Structure 1
Amino acid sequence: RNGGYTVLTSRFLPPILFTEEEAVSIFYAFQSLNYYRNLPFDTEISSVEHKLYSSLQSEAKIKIDKIRSYIAFWNPKRTIDTPLLNDVLKYSIENRNLHIQYESKSGIRKKHIRPIGVYAHDGLWYLPAYDYHKKKILLYRVDRILSILSTEENEDEFMNLKEWFNFIEVKNPIRLHV
């Protein structure tokens, strides 16, 4: 009425133009995730895949379908659910301490931890975290976290997953022939 303008705030991205090869490479990346039972942002990944596929020309769709039939990043499909994967990832990013209920081979225990991040290996999700009781970084399987009892904010920064990977010493495996 009195002039001026406003910018609408939206969480939608403007249209992104991909070449056919870029779109194919995105599906190639999606193929590498197919054998994980749970993924962070699983529904969003499916949505992106559907939107991208439906926008492709028929030649590109044929190419994508062939890729799905001829290439796989195979990991044995695990039947173990990780229902708290998204929560653990979110709290790691938010730099929060967690009080969790954790089931290990020795039983169910309460743990007070500071998560570093999550990563997948051999079909399972792992959480390296600082254990306040043991005063060291331990590795937890996310599927064994039964519940998150509470969270605490942290003011100070801690190492993230990328820094932890650079910090740990990867030992060469010993091969045994039986």
Structure 2
Amino acid sequence: MNNRKLALMRLMDSRKKFTARELAERFQVSIRTIQRDLNDLQELGFPLYTEVGVNGGYRVLPNRILPPLQLTQHEALGLFMMIEYLENVPDFPYGSIRGHLAEEYYSTLPQDVQDLITRMRQHITFLQHHAVQAGAVTTEILGAAVDKREIEFIYHSRQGHKKVQVVPIGIYYDHGYWYMPAQRKDRVLLYRVDRMQELVMRDSIDESVPSLQEWLNLKENRESAEVVLQFTDFGARLAGSDVLFKSVEDNEWRGLVPPEEFPFTARKLLSYGPEVKVIEPLELQQQVREMLERSLDQYNTL
């Protein structure tokens, strides 16, 4: 495919309508050449249609095929590795396309690049522990968040099963799980997506719900307590890849945490074992101790 046809695809994909004369003048070729280019694009599957009459012209169908990328070999290899990585992220939104995309993209590459990718696969892998969820709902949640639409689902929590109606703010992926912050009345609550079932879209729309980025950038307005943690050298290295504790300085972490999030914070700290100690507040320290004692109780013999 020559550069003119690629440029023609990009221009037509702007969703505007063009006459053959306008296109010919823009590309400084004859009308016959433009018509031949358009016929070639249609044969390749580019969804053009023609409107006849005085106000007619060429337009692209809504379900269009986007123009191909023009990449260097390094960029092509990097893109394929990113697709490979995404294969390891469970329940990825629109994830059903990943296998198809990798196969289609791979088949369009030159044979020597395909051979190089085959060899590279023997020297790289992505190890990732994650939960496997049947019937992923991340795609539906993301669509509802964009539309600011209320959803209803059954949520499986420690207290049992309950029906929930909320407006999702968005989703984010952290340590093998997808999380959904969502607004219910005047509160924002956090749900683990793999615990959601029987999701139903509702008609209610709430334009006041913020986007995920807006929510993340909001200042915490809940009453919070200062938390001070002391990490070992190894613990500080582990914390460097942890979204919650990555701002460790001189093996110490300080931050504001709402008391209602202490149980969640305590469970996170348990994963560090002896590599972290809660200095303050005493309430969080006590919750960590209680969780440790419950863990030890499982191994006590009568």
Range into which the TM-score falls when normalised by the shorter chain: 0.7 to 0.9
Deviation (angstroms), 1:35: 2.1
Inter-partner Cα distance in structure 2 for 1:2 and 1:166? 53
Contact 1:116–1:127 under 8 Å retained in 2: yes
Aligned to 1:5: 57
Hey, what does 1:24 align to over in structure 2?
A: 77
SS at match of 2:165: strand
Once the two structures are superposed, what CA deviation does each residue of 1:119-168 show, in whole Å capped at 9, x if it has no partner?
22222211111122xx4211111121111244133252422122233337
Range moving further from structure 2, 16-25 or 60-69: 60-69
Gaps of 5+ in 2: 1-51, 221-242, 246-252, 254-268, 276-302
Task: Confirm or deny: 8 A CA contact 1:35 1:75 kept in the other structure.
Answer: yes
Conservation of the 8 A alpha-carbon contact between 1:97 and 1:113: yes
- Structure 2 Cα separation of the partners of residues 50 and 29 of structure 1: 14
- Structure 1 range deviating more: 42-51 or 6-15: 6-15
> How many corresponding residue pairs?
176
Match of residue 79 from structure 1: 132
Displacement, 1:58?
A: 2.1
Of structures 1 and 2, the one with the larger relative CO (CA 8 A, separation 6+) is: 1
1:79-135 CA distances to partner (integer Å, 9 max, x unpaired)?
333532221121111110122221111111111211011122222211111122xx4
1:128 aligns with 2:181: yes
Question: Percent of counterpart pairs with the same letter?
Answer: 26
Match of 1:108 among 138, 145, 161: 161
Alignment RMSD: 2.5
SS state of the match for residue 87, structure 1?
A: helix
Q: Which has the higher helix share?
A: 2
Question: What's the CA shift string for 1:36-60, capped at 9, x where partnerless?
Answer: 3322112222222111100111221
1:152 alignment partner in structure 2: 203
2:141 counterpart residue number: 88
Match of 2:31 in 1: none
2:176 is matched by which residue type in structure 1? G
Alignment equivalent of 1:99, drawn from 148, 152, 156: 152
Task: Please list the CA deviations of residues 3-59 of structure 1 after superposition, one character each: whole Å capped at 9, or x if unmatched.
Answer: 642324241112332222221111121222232332211222222211110011122
The answer to which of 116-125 and 9-18 deviates more is 9-18
User: What is the SS of the residue equivalent to 1:29?
Assistant: helix
Task: Tell me, in whole angstroms, the C-alpha distance in 2 between the residues paired with 1:50 and 1:91.
Answer: 30
1:142 equivalent to 2:193? Answer yes
Paired residue type of 1:6:
Y
Is residue 23–residue 52 contact of structure 1 (8 Å, CA) maintained in 2? no
* Letter in structure 1 aligned against 2:274: H
